Amino acid sequence: MTQLTLGKALNAGLRQAMRDDDKVVLMGEDIGKLGGVFRITDGLLDEFGAKRVIDTPLAESGIVGTAVGLAFRGYRPVIEIQFDGFIYPGFDQIVSQVAKLHYRTQGRVKMPITIRVPWAGGIGAAEHHSESPEAYFVHTAGLRVIAVSNPQDAYRCLRQAIASDDPVLFFEPKRLYHHKGEVDLDAPLADAPPMGLAHVVRSGSDATLITYGAMVRTALDAAEAAEDEGISLEVIDLRSLSPVDYETVSASVRRTGRVVVAHEASREAGVAAEVIASITEFCFEYLEAAPVRVTGHDIPYPPAKLEKFHLPDLDRILDAVDRVLDRPNSVSDLRGVQL
């Protein structure tokens, strides 16, 4: 095992994927000589050359459109959207072409495109640099959507995404780029669990806490704090947002009978709403209380000095746990909706 930051793990995953398959090409703004804004592609230009690590113009629609053409010709393009909020100019290409071409051609054309997205908040960035757009893509049939939370998954799931014949939106929590963890660089990819499986990162018996991305660390902190009060929380890292591993989720809910789902994206029509609707459909007779969402607010992402009030934190998660356990002193607004 090797200690790597999440950013270095992604770099290692890209390097290994390019060594394994010379049809893997990288494209994006400033990814070559600069190595990317977050240095995720650092050193790859020197090793693989400018024909495989391609600096592009500032034109997301053009980047995605070029990737579609490369996929038609048998390549496996990996494109970087420099910041999450920059993905919208390429949105039409992603949902109208990348997601649908395999279906429209009755399976004759594959779209093995991986779209890497530095994602979400917590770094004090400027406007358009701290978005959480995952629900748009979860709603789009034909796309896989992955959100990693640790260096091991970053390394392994990125390689799996690149090797997949499906198009993958690969969300990387930018505020965790410098967080370290153990990574097994030598384990065969064929032996790794599929990227579509959820991961129970902490076992518990009183309630199930479901989340993904950077919120996994917050959820684990909340579970540790709850343990001091005698509450046992099971924490699930979804990893795959489309498709969701409802087998793992349902098995947990049937044991605990109580559910909290947390994410930093806005509440309205977010991933938490879909997960809770499905849990209610699959596990209704096992539920001891109504599931609760803990999310970002339904506002444009706030200025850096206010983002701590927008991002779900330990206290908001513990309040939700109190609500599903019917404990006193939970905080609600005038409509009875979680603050």
In this prediction, residue 40 carries a pLDDT of 98
325 CB-contact burial (10 Å; exposed 0-12 / middle 13-18 / buried 19+): middle
In this prediction, residue 327 carries a pLDDT of 87
In this prediction, residue 329 carries a pLDDT of 63
- Note the residue count of the chain: 339
Q: What are phi and psi of 4, to 5 degrees?
A: -135, 150
In this prediction, residue 339 carries a pLDDT of 46
3-state secondary structure of 269: coil
Any bridge partners for residue 208, and if so which? 234, 259
In this prediction, residue 328 carries a pLDDT of 74
Dist. CA 91–CA 265, nearest whole Å: 18
Any bridge partners for residue 233, and if so which? 207
- List per-block mean pLDDT (blocks of 10 residues) for the chain, which spans 339 residues: 97 98 98 97 98 97 97 97 97 97 95 98 93 97 98 98 98 97 94 95 98 98 97 98 98 98 97 98 97 97 94 97 85 45
In this prediction, residue 219 carries a pLDDT of 98
> Please, are residues 40 and 11 in contact by the beta-carbon 8 Å criterion?
yes
> Please, are residues 112 and 61 in contact by the beta-carbon 8 Å criterion?
no
Dist. CA 102–CA 178, nearest whole Å: 36
> Which long-range contacts does 284-290 make (Cβ < 8 Å, 24+ apart)?
286/253, 286/254, 286/257, 287/253, 287/257, 287/258, 287/259, 288/257, 288/258, 288/324, 289/257, 289/258, 289/323, 289/324, 289/325, 289/326, 290/324
Paired sense of beta strands 180-183 and 2-5, if any: antiparallel
- What is each CA distance from 164 to 9, 169, 305, in whole angstroms? 19, 12, 40
- The span from the first CA to the last CA of the chain, in angstroms, equals 41
Dist. CA 23–CA 293, nearest whole Å: 42
Is the backbone peptide bond immediately before 194 cis, with ω within 30 degrees of 0? no
In this prediction, residue 302 carries a pLDDT of 95
3-state secondary structure of 241: strand
**Which amino acid appears at position 30 of this protein?**
D
- What is each CA distance from 120 to 45, 250, 310, in whole angstroms? 27, 27, 12
Residues marked active site are found at 129
CA dihedral of residues 13, 14, 18, 21 (deg, nearest 10): 60
3-state secondary structure of 53: strand
